[in-house]
Amino acid sequence: MTMQKEITVVLYGCHLTNNEWSPDVDFGTIDKFVDKLSSDLSTLGITVSYREELDTVLEVKGYGDMLNLIRLRSPKDSIGNLCLGHIIGQSDNCDFFEDIRRGVSRIAFAPEMIEPEGSNKVVCHNCGCGC
């Protein structure tokens, strides 16, 4: 029997610093979204879980910074703690839940397409992930 792939979606805390912008996201529904995502992928041997690490607080000025709030982890793929922006690059539609789904799907089905940690690819906003 093959080992099940486990992907963890982690939410960091945020400090909004742009008075002219606010996220159009109900952060309280991320856990339900991840549960549904896990249910959808479970038949493929993929478990997706959710956790909050709100003690780690990042500055958020706009949507691009929001991608840094979500960290994805997949030990089987040697993905320790990459921000969503590192995994998907720029958001196509600025749809937070769609972007989480894209990131999880990338890890689930094409982890080889993700730049390794510490690469010189710059896709995020000084979130500290190393990209």
3-state helix, strand, coil in the chain (%, to 5): 40, 30, 35
Q: What is the pLDDT of residue 87?
A: 93
Whole-number Å distance between alpha carbons of 2 and 125: 37
Q: What is the pLDDT of residue 90?
A: 85
Question: How does strand 5-16 pair with strand 46-60?
Answer: parallel
Whole-number Å distance between alpha carbons of 88 and 96: 12
Question: Chunked in runs of 10, what are the mean pLDDT values of the chain (131 residues)?
Answer: 82 94 93 97 96 96 94 94 92 94 96 76 53 50
Question: Which residue in the block uniquely carries the two structure tokens 């099940």?
Answer: 4
pTM: 0.88
* Helices vs. strands in the chain: H and E counts, helices first: 4, 4
Domains of the chain, residue spans: 5-113
Angle between helices 30-41 and 96-109 (to 10 degrees): 30
Which has the closest alpha carbon to 63: 24, 30, 19?
24
